[in-house]
Chains A and B, each alone.
Chain A
Amino acid sequence: MIEVQESDETYRQYAIEEYVLSQEPFYLPVTDEVELFNAAYEQKIPVLLKGPTGSGKTRFIEYMAFKLGRPLTIIKDVTEGGDVKTGLPLVTVACHEDLTASDLVGRYLLEGESTRWIDGPLTRAVKVGAICYLDEVVEARKDTTVLIHPLTDHRRILPIEKLGQIVEARNGFLLVISYNPGYQSALKDLKHSTRQRFMAIEFGYPPRELEAKIIQHEADISASVATELAKLGEKVRHLKEHGLAEGVSTRLLIYAGRLIQKGITPRRACQVAIVWALTDDRDVQRSIEEVVSSIFE
């Protein structure tokens, strides 16, 4: 880590593979996903987190990274300041349409008279034994998935063609990918050859009571408002595939909660954080607003 002093602001900058969480993330298990993940980690089984956006996948992986790092310090503490690292390093890559294999593995840079190779995030995770989380993996180009294959079977290797090298994954390395089955488009589907290399944990929307607790914690609002928001979530999700492409995410409910916490009226908060965020269709907006106005005074 480097501490950078710029005028009066200090910020911290980490090498991607050095970033570990120092505080336990708040996560409420919905079912047995924690045990499942623990087992997978022990067994080095790659994991696919499946579920709609905002259903807690990222939060879960952060939580697991923290929990798993706790008992065994996998990375040596490299800071001079003596910051006690507690988590397992977590390398998160948000995948997008233009993400290519070299974005993940690494590339040459020009430097002076010569070129210099620089490792991509995946390579770094492999080398330090971090959890590498490829978020929304279907978005990435197809050629990236080829890289993944040798890492996910018993070989656990990463070939780097450009260098003519093969890197063996460190012990703690685990590949985790996420995937949203919501977009039912042939183009945006995971290939079977890829899918079949992962165990899958499904993330749905948590039941009302649990979701209320999450919202209450995350938005720092009263239990009753949190319950009403969770109730709203449940009702709006009834409209899925029926005017709405996806149900409302926990994340959006939390946003609404946060706005309410700041003194915005509940109806207005729901309108901007939920109704307008979900759809542009006037009729659907109106129906959801009616549900909102039935629930909130």
Chain B
Amino acid sequence: MSSSDYRRVYSKFEKQLAPFSTALVSEFRRSAEAVSPLLSREELVQWAEEGLELARQSWRSWEAAGEYFRASPQVLEMLGFAGFGRWSQHGRDLAELSSALSAAYFRASPGTLSNVSFARLPDWVDLGRQLYKGTWRSASLAVQFFDGSPNLFANLSLEDARVLVRFVDSLCDRSYDLAAHCLSIAPQVLTPLSGEDRAAFLRFAEALASTGWADARAYLEKGPALLAHIHSSQRVRFLGLARDLARREGRQAFGYFAEAARALNQVDDELHGYLLAQAEDLVPLSAVAAMEFLKSVPRVLERVRVEEVGNWHSEGFQLLDASLEGGEAYFRLESARGEEVLESLSSRVDLNRVGEILRMYCKALTGDDVAIHSAETLAEKGIGWVDEAPSTEGTAIFLPPTVEQYHDKTENFGVYKVYSTHQAAHLEFGTFLFNFEREGHVFPNLRREREKGRAAGKEDGQREPLTDMERFFDLFENRRLAADLFAIVEDARLDALVEHEYPGIRAAYRRTQRVELESRPEVEGMPLLQALIENLVRVSLGGEDGLRWPASAVQLVPLLRDAIDVMKTVRQPQATVEDAAEATLRLYDLIAQIPNVVSEMAEEDWQALDEESLQLMPMTGDSLGKDMDLQLQGQEMPYQSPQPVDFRGEFKPELVQLLMRLRQERQGQQPPLSPLSPEQLRAMLEKSVEVSINDMVDGDLQQSSELFLTNLMKELTAQEQEKQQPVQRMPAKEGEPVSGFSTPDDERELPVEPKYFYYDEWDFRAGDYKPRWCRVVEYSVGEGVPQYFDQTLQKYASLAGQTRRQFEMLRPELFRKIKRLLDGEEFDLDAVVEFLVERDAGQSPSGKVYWRRNKVERDVAVAFLLDMSASTDEEIAKHERRYTQDEFDDDPRRYFSWWMARRAQELLSPPKRIIDVEKESIVLVIRALETIGDTYGIYGFSGYGRENVEFYVIKDMDERFSDHVKKRIDKVAPVRSTRMGPAIRHATSKLDTHDAKVRILFLVSDGRPQDHGYGRDRTEKEYAIHDTHMALVEAKRKGIVPFCLTVDRYGHDYLKQMCADIGYAVVPDVESLPSRITTLYRRLTE
């Protein structure tokens, strides 16, 4: 076809296109030029025809035509004219729906068709079509889809795209913005994912959108990063699991997905496959449980070995099979059963579980009140200790928080036992009671001479040593060496004593020592002096057979032998800490002159030394060392302390003595040292090798030592406070008291530290307890004025008198006569007469002719538990329904005058609240109980949330009634919520320590139990009722009589359930509470 031909054809079409838009014409022309070499004339005409038809198809479809023309050259090249028709037909079809859609289709075609085969072309179009719902928003989404297609299909298969579209489509129902956003970020989100992962990712997205659409965006944005936590081969599986969850449970699926992914991130990713398989096992029963399982894995692995996870899982599986809620709570680690299983599978031993046992064990060994704490706390104090190794500072023993050295619990406990036995030995065998002046038992005293000798060479004005230990170490030039020697010798002495005194622990002790020996550094290659010390450490651990010494220094072997002899001497049972000091002196003299040189000889130079070869060596004279030839070759090295022995921990005798001294001073047992100034302390610290100030804090020495001093004083104050509060023994498992922490600010105030107690909570759905779920904080109520008490008594004078008389009648009637017994105190005259008469009458009389008095003692202990929730703030008038208003409805004047009167009344005396009546009742109760002499405690409770159940002590069980109690009653006021269960449990544990014949727990409340998180959601009431009921049942099981009294007139509704089998009463008329409470109490105890 000639060019004029073309031009003719063109101009014909141009003319027809011109009315639409000039832009369209130029588009046509540009395109025509590009396509003409590819097409025949007829084809060209068809092509142009097609464009024209499109432009004419509908209003604004000319825009689509423009895109058609523009895309044509490329599309033609890709599809050829044969496919081209089908292609344009799709565009025409789309234009029927929306010209914008069609335009977008054409526009996207060149970029998309390179990734989507011609055969799949209809599928692609269908996807776009699917999004179009006839609304402009759907149209723009579909347009967005086509526009994004080149990018999208560059990475996604059509299958993927199909899922993506379904996902986006389902989001449209909720929000087009969300859908658009998701669609727009999809390519960059999905691109990094591998093919399989991507499909799975999208399938989960789709499931998520159908239920938890709100999370869709978060999922799309954060999902890939979360997914990256999972081992690459396991991602599909994990997503499958998440999808199952979304399908079954709907909401929260994304939350589970995210948390489980994070949890798996904390686990070795080689385990992911195994764990996911385990999780999948649970899915048929509960997809939630499967996810909970994964979430809990890191925490479980902290306690049990990987090999045990299967056992933990299968226990839970069975539980889940029996009870869904129970199993889910199990995997959530919120069940007592789960806790039990973990504990039994775990070989790890936690200090907080065995601390109490170890404390009593150490107390038994030493006879002192030693506390047991985690070693972390010692390092935190900043008073010189830095390691988290076992140690003692003289009053407490510090141990690592957990031990899992062995695969067996008993063995791990054994480790704790060895640790604490060694530390206790310091206290039991008087390490810190070292007295410079005291004689030893096995060595003659060299200290005194030595001190004199040194004093001669020193000028006056030397500072007096602060402690005996310091004075002792002052004897040495090389203080570090002396301290190291002393530690070795003293530990050797203690270990020997322990083995002597406690044959039963010998085996465990030896084993520990063997383990330590195995981990000692090699002696070979150490500088000589250090090698010698290392050999001594080994000797102290019973490793006499593992000694090594270089042949080139053979002339020093006798010296080593003498040193070992010194060690042997100090291991005799009668040796004291003073002997250890003497041994230190002797060892120091023996070896201080050994140069710390590295032997230049080769490895072979080092030889094993056994008992025999030691003995074969020539004796060293008394003049040993003085003129011995010590010309050893080699380079002198700075001395380094030996590697510490783990089970012996950190040993700081100088510091401990300082602390002890300060403690005694503060308690006035010793005259104070000339005021201990920071300078003085600094001097001591600089000298001592036990603290390296720079280890503790950065900054200059001046500051550091001041900080050290502050810490020291703080510690002493804290210890004194602890002493003042005698340690109470509580049931170890439940309600274990844990002291709170005080910040440095309230140090001066010396507030009573709140005590914390933990209790389980009953989850009726799981049919199990949630372990250590609630934290009860015990407070003492503040004190107001005592007048309140007396005024209340006056106000209720007649009731008070009446109650008192009633109670007096209950007074222990000591003896009750029982008649007609076979044996007893005395004859019952009537019975004897009867007996004689009957016998004379020939009958066989009953021999029951005695009586005896039976001792009946009133022995009652009661705990009153008052509801102090915010609702007790309510005025009684309001509480008691407003029927008054109805009464006056027909006569406004009467109502008005009534109202005026009430207002006037209210101005005179403020309206009474429920709490006021509770308080008044308590006053009367106290009055009555004091008459009768029952043991009683009065407590209030409130709080918010499970971590913060407040328990107020108004009068403790053991406390005597006093003005303090009166003043506290004045201060009783409404606080917050009503979590009854833990409060009841705490009151129960208080009652449980009292062994009275009759023990009563008397609960006074104004409504149903409720609290934040005390139920599945805000409206649920069942959970709280069940837990409270269980708490009451627990009390009953302990032989306590619980009784619930409520002023809630609708109380019957839930009390029936809450107090099944338990006594309760409803007092509909609040004002009568004071009289009711005493009457009820009397009846209960009669």
Contacting chain A: which of B500-508, B620-628, B677-685, B789-797? Answer: B500-508
Docked CA distance A97–B855 (Å): 8
Docked CA distance A141–B732 (Å): 38
Number of B interface residues at 8 Å Cβ cutoff, please give it: 34
Instruction: Tell whether A292 is near chain B: CB-to-CB under 8 Å.
Output: yes
Contacts of B359 in A (CB 8 A): 287
Write the chain A residue with the least CB distance to B853: A100
Instruction: Tell whether B1037 is near chain A: CB-to-CB under 8 Å.
Output: no
Contacts of A291 in B (CB 8 A): 361, 364-365
Contact A235 B364 (CB under 8 A): yes
Docked CA distance A248–B502 (Å): 19
Instruction: Tell whether B826 is near chain A: CB-to-CB under 8 Å.
Output: yes
> A117-147, CB under 8 A of B: which get 1 and which 0?
0000000000000000000000001000000
Q: A238-B363, A282-B732, A293-B504 are in contact. Are A110 and B849 (CB under 8 A)?
A: yes
Q: A238-B367, A239-B360, A287-B361 are in contact. Are A293 and B732 (CB under 8 A)?
A: no
Docked CA distance A100–B361 (Å): 44
> A276-297, CB under 8 A of B: which get 1 and which 0?
0000001110111011111111
Instruction: Tell whether A98 is near chain B: CB-to-CB under 8 Å.
Output: yes
Docked CA distance A288–B854 (Å): 40
Instruction: Tell whether B825 is near chain A: CB-to-CB under 8 Å.
Output: yes
Contacts of A98 in B (CB 8 A): 852, 854-855
Contact A290 B361 (CB under 8 A): yes
Instruction: Tell whether A268 is near chain B: CB-to-CB under 8 Å.
Output: no
Write the chain B residue with the least CB distance to A235: B364
Contact B825 A293 (CB under 8 A): no
Contact B855 A141 (CB under 8 A): yes
**What range describes how many residues of A lie at the interface?**
20 to 34
Docked CA distance A291–B362 (Å): 9
Instruction: Tell whether A187 is near chain B: CB-to-CB under 8 Å.
Output: yes
Docked CA distance A108–B366 (Å): 58
Contact B505 A294 (CB under 8 A): yes
Contacts of A251 in B (CB 8 A): none
Q: A108-B827, A235-B364 are in contact. Are A295 and B732 (CB under 8 A)?
A: no
Instruction: Tell whether A197 is near chain B: CB-to-CB under 8 Å.
Output: no
Docked CA distance A228–B500 (Å): 11
Contact B504 A283 (CB under 8 A): no
Contact B360 A294 (CB under 8 A): no
Docked CA distance A242–B370 (Å): 12
Shortest B80–chain A CB gap in Å is 89
Write the chain A residue with the least CB distance to B498: A294
Docked CA distance A267–B503 (Å): 12
Q: Which of B356, B364, B857 contacts A238 (CB 8 A)?
A: B364
Instruction: Tell whether B879 is near chain A: CB-to-CB under 8 Å.
Output: no
A-side binding surface: helix, strand, loop or mixed?
Answer: helix
**Chain B, 834-859, CB within 8 A of any chain A CB:** 835, 849, 852-855, 857
Write the chain B residue with the least CB distance to A141: B855
Contacts of B849 in A (CB 8 A): 110
Contact B363 A297 (CB under 8 A): no
Contacts of A287 in B (CB 8 A): 356-361, 364
Contact A297 B504 (CB under 8 A): yes
Contacts of A288 in B (CB 8 A): 360, 364
Instruction: Tell whether A261 is near chain B: CB-to-CB under 8 Å.
Output: no
Instruction: Tell whether B417 is near chain A: CB-to-CB under 8 Å.
Output: yes
Docked CA distance A127–B981 (Å): 65
Docked CA distance A288–B360 (Å): 8
Instruction: Tell whether B421 is near chain A: CB-to-CB under 8 Å.
Output: yes
Instruction: Tell whether B463 is near chain A: CB-to-CB under 8 Å.
Output: no
Shortest A103–chain B CB gap in Å is 8
Instruction: Tell whether B893 is near chain A: CB-to-CB under 8 Å.
Output: no
Write the chain A residue with the least CB distance to B933: A186
> A207-249, CB under 8 A of B: which get 1 and which 0?
0000000000000000000001001000110110011000000
Q: Which of A100, A231, A239, A243 contacts B825 (CB 8 A)?
A: A100
Instruction: Tell whether B8 is near chain A: CB-to-CB under 8 Å.
Output: no
Shortest B418–chain A CB gap in Å is 10
Docked CA distance A228–B504 (Å): 10
**Chain B, 261-317, CB within 8 A of any chain A CB:** none
Instruction: Tell whether B1083 is near chain A: CB-to-CB under 8 Å.
Output: no
Instruction: Tell whether B729 is near chain A: CB-to-CB under 8 Å.
Output: yes
Contacts of A293 in B (CB 8 A): 504-505
**Other A-B pairs, 11, CB within 8 Å; known A287-B357, A295-B504:** A98-B854, A115-B827, A141-B855, A238-B365, A238-B366, A242-B369, A242-B729, A287-B358, A291-B365, A295-B501, A297-B503
- Minimum-distance CB pairs A-B, first 9: A287-B360, A294-B502, A238-B367, A294-B505, A235-B364, A290-B361, A283-B732, A296-B504, A287-B361
Interchain Cβ contacts under 8 Å between A and B, 16 examples:
A98-B854, A100-B852, A110-B832, A239-B363, A242-B369, A242-B729, A243-B729, A267-B504, A283-B356, A287-B361, A290-B361, A290-B417, A291-B364, A294-B502, A296-B503, A297-B506
Chain A residues in the interface with B (C-beta under 8 A): 97-98, 100, 102-103, 107-108, 110, 115, 141, 187, 228, 231, 235-236, 238-239, 242-243, 267, 282-284, 286-288, 290-297
